[in-house]
Amino acid sequence: MTQATPFTKILIANRGEIALRVIRSARALGYQTVAVYSTADQHARHVQEADQAVCIGEPLPAQSYLCIDAVIDAARQVGADAIHPGYGFLAENQDFARACRDAGLVFIGPSPESIVAMGHKAGAKQLMMDAGVPCIPGYQGADQSAQRLLAEAERIGFPVMIKATAGGGGRGMRLVSSASEFPDLLRSAQSEALNAFGDAEVILERAIVQPRHIEIQVFADRYGHAIHLGERDCSVQRRHQKVVEEAPSPAVDAALRERMGATAVAAVKAIGYEGAGTLEFLLDSQGQYYFMEMNTRLQVEHPVTEAITGLDLVELQLRVAAGEPLPLQQADVRFHGHAIEVRLCAEDVDAGFMPQSGRLQLWREPGGVRVEHALFSGAEIPPFYDSMVAKIIAHGTNRDEARRRLLQGLRETVALGVTTNQVFLSACLRDSVFAAGQASTAFVGEQLASLLQRDEAAQQRALALAAALLFETTAVEPVAPLLRRLAHRLPVSLVLEAGGQRQTVQLTQTAAQRYTVVSQGQQHQIEWLELAPHGVRVLLDGVVERAAYARQGQQLYLHYAGQPLAVRDLTRSATERAGESAGDGKVRASMNGRVVAVLVAEGEQVEAGQPLVTLEAMKMEHVHLAAVAGRVATLSVGVGEQVTARRVLAEIEAAAVS
């Protein structure tokens, strides 16, 4: 006998590409969809594309997407009878699942009891140990005193991992190499966990050296039937957040897949699980795997599983939530080819992966690959949410074909106006270690220097092209006519800033739409073949190429040879901004963010490098340090305050040098 829980209208308690992904599958099955949004997202694509949309407050977390009462009220307001939580925000919140059930709404996910059982790392680990699932040695006790935790870390033996029990996405997680650094890293992990999840409790685990991060996708219905859909390899990470995901794993053969899959299925059956879930394991070099945690939701990287199985995982979620039995047996699951996904994030890799926000001036998605996003030219990327703005997924008959297609997709992706990790992603895919399928969780750390290297020759050609575009598109009267008349007779000097560096470029117009540009002693010949508002076909040093660009005032954003470049024209105003030197004692916000900790007081004496203020942006904490030793003369922010990039947080009156 089936136990149907029918519904007709689904509210998606999430935003951006996540909400759009759910809307797509829900509509295909004939369901109406409802979006919720914060005031920061009022023009977002998920708001535009849903059948209905309800504003649930200001963008600060406690007032919008994390506010259970607001989401439930929105569902009541429009007559929705089901809620899909997406992934992130409330997706693994047992109180939210329970509130949906109490309100008579179908929660498209597991029961609150299952979320409680697996959502708390300490309890989940004990359950898995009781079920015979191999687990990493560690400590998951109730005594959370700093003294007890340090003692347990020493018992386990360094290096150890600190993990927030309620955490996910790498937040509240720290790798500790020695006892001396344990207290500071423990405080940092607990602070980040409290801000992100409202719970500072942590567990400790022995750090497995250079493991693979392997996760098993499972599905279960309410009738005791459960299957797995193979594994995904998520080893390429930075700050414990996934960067590249693929399926199947280069390190897993058919026999190991069968063993790990059977372990995952047995685990979800043991707790009476229903819906989509993922069991995450660490795989060591000897082929031994250890349970880490279970995510009781759909994963960001589910498209790679969809690509190799041909299944729509959101559709399966909806069918299971409505009370249908799973439509396939384990023997029906077939794997075809290989798929790789990269996460395009708004972040400055060269500045330590610092989250970025602002307006996307130009967006063009590539062809031939799957792109999950909610972007458009002119879209605002707010500072309040996760830094991931798009996912790009390629499928091929084998791993190298998928890798080549993804590299081409990244090369064609145009995302101008906000700094992203696009070049870094391409470097990861090209790296010989990744190409050979040998990347472990240590990959980014070990290869970082080479991953950050840039093609200097291509950069110089891009700068020359940008200089010519700035000159060609300058429309300020009477500057433009004067420059053009001069350029026919003698070189014009342009002062440009790119990548934080200032250069003087010499430009000479040799004929209509032809230029000679000299930059750092290198001469480049440029001829326009086609010049459109946001794209150009150009003969550059004898090679016909295409580029995309967007201009905003004196700022030019260029996409050339698969790489973005931001160039500011300082020709008319080549003076330094006042007060920008590192030694002036002013501590400025490195990005838009919220103040989560003020670690000093006015009048206090501080040392150079001492932590002063901690900002949170896009779910990550960033500690701002004193640049000079001295006295805190002014402290201009308080905890909870939202600040913009470059705002002065504190000013240090430098100590006199004796």
The 10s digit of each residue's pLDDT in 365-419 is 999 999 999 999 999 999 888 899 999 999 999 999 999 999 999 999 999 999 9
CA distance readout (Å), 280 to 89, 120, 277, 289, 605: 20, 14, 10, 10, 46
Q: Which residue has the higher pLDDT, 286 or 29?
A: 29
Residues 231 and 202 both lie in one domain: no
CB 162 within 8 A of CB 185: yes
Question: What helix, strand, coil percent values describe the chain, rounded to 5?
Answer: 30, 35, 35
Last residue of a domain, one of 569, 590, 607: 569
Count CA atoms closer than 13 A to 455's CA, side-chain side: 16
Give the pLDDT score at 576: 39
Tell me the CATH number at 65.
3.40.50.20
Digit-coded pLDDT (tens) for 214-252: 999 999 999 999 999 999 999 999 988 899 999 999 999
Tell me: pLDDT of 618 over 80.
Answer: no
Residues 490 and 421 both lie in one domain: no
Residues 610 and 476 both lie in one domain: no
Distance in angstroms (rounded) separating the CA atoms of residues 142 and 119:
16
Domain presence at residue 103: yes
Tell me the CATH number at 153.
3.30.1490.20
CB 615 within 8 A of CB 622: yes
Q: Dihedral sign for Cα 96, 99, 105, 110, please.
A: positive
Write out the E strands in 159-262: 160-164, 173-176, 202-206, 212-220, 226-238, 241-247
Residues 224 and 326 both lie in one domain: yes
Give the range among 80-84, 169-173, 484-488, 612-616 with minimum mean pLDDT.
Answer: 484-488
For residues 33-60, average pLDDT: 95
CB 327 within 8 A of CB 359: no
DSSP three-state, residue 27: helix
pLDDT averaged over every residue in the chain: 91
Residues 159 and 300 both lie in one domain: no
Cα-flanking dihedrals φ and ψ of residue 515, to 5°? -140, 150
* pLDDT band at 178; cut points 50, 70, 90: very high
Q: What is the dihedral of CA 284, 285, 288, 292, to 10 degrees?
A: 10
* pLDDT band at 482; cut points 50, 70, 90: low
Give the pLDDT score at 582: 47
* pLDDT band at 2; cut points 50, 70, 90: confident
Residues 377 and 470 both lie in one domain: no
Give the pLDDT score at 478: 43
Structural tokens at position 182:
């344990």
Domain presence at residue 115: no
Residues 418 and 300 both lie in one domain: yes
For residues 206-217, average pLDDT: 93
Domain presence at residue 526: yes
Residues 378 and 300 both lie in one domain: yes
Alpha carbon distance, N-terminus to C-terminus of the chain? 86
Distance in angstroms (rounded) separating the CA atoms of residues 37 and 47:
7
Domain count, the chain: 5
Give the pLDDT score at 435: 98
H-helix segments, 298-398 = 302-309, 313-321
Residues 149 and 187 both lie in one domain: yes
Residues 422 and 440 both lie in one domain: yes
Distance in angstroms (rounded) separating the CA atoms of residues 120 and 317:
23
Tell me the CATH number at 275.
3.30.470.20
Structural tokens at position 102:
């109490």
Give the range among 47-61, 80-94, 521-535, 635-649 with minimum mean pLDDT.
Answer: 635-649
Query: Which helix (H) or strand (E) is 139 found in, with range?
Result: strand 138-139
Residues 350 and 479 both lie in one domain: no
Give the pLDDT score at 480: 53
Give the pLDDT score at 626: 86
Tell me: pLDDT of 479 over 60.
Answer: no
Classify residue 390 as exposed, middle or buried by CB count within 10 Å of its CB (0-12, 13-18, 19+).
buried
Domain presence at residue 637: yes
Domain presence at residue 515: yes
Give the pLDDT score at 578: 36
For residues 143-158, average pLDDT: 95
For residues 248-263, average pLDDT: 96
Last residue of a domain, one of 163, 189, 206: 206
% of the chain residues with pLDDT over 90: 71
The 3-class secondary structure across 249-303, one letter per residue, is CCCCCHHHHHHHHHHHHHHHHHCCCCEEEEEEEEECCCCCEEEEEEECCCCCCHH
Digit-coded pLDDT (tens) for 115-147: 998 877 778 888 888 888 899 889 989 999 999
| Model confidence, pTM | 0.84
Domain presence at residue 384: yes
β-pair type (275-283, 32-37):
unpaired
Query: Which helix (H) or strand (E) is 426 found in, with range?
Result: helix 422-430
Q: Dihedral sign for Cα 559, 560, 561, 566, please.
A: negative
Cis, peptide link before residue 248, omega less than 30° from 0: yes
Residue length of the chain = 658
Domain presence at residue 121: no
* CA-based R_g, the chain, Å: 27
CB 83 within 8 A of CB 100: yes
Digit-coded pLDDT (tens) for 338-362: 999 999 999 999 988 999 999 999 9
Tell me the CATH number at 481.
3.30.700.30
- Residue keyed to tokens 């990548």: 499
For residues 651-658, average pLDDT: 76
- Residue keyed to tokens 């939580």: 85
% of the chain residues with pLDDT over 70: 94
Residues 447 and 501 both lie in one domain: no
Distance in angstroms (rounded) separating the CA atoms of residues 166 and 10:
27
Amino acid present at 635: L
Helix and strand element counts for the chain (H, E): 17, 39
Distance in angstroms (rounded) separating the CA atoms of residues 138 and 155:
9
Cα-flanking dihedrals φ and ψ of residue 213, to 5°? -100, 105
Q: Which residue has the higher pLDDT, 300 or 196?
A: 300
Last residue of a domain, one of 186, 206, 226: 206
β-pair type (241-247, 202-206):
unpaired
Residue 504 belongs to what domain range?
Answer: 457-569
Domain presence at residue 270: yes
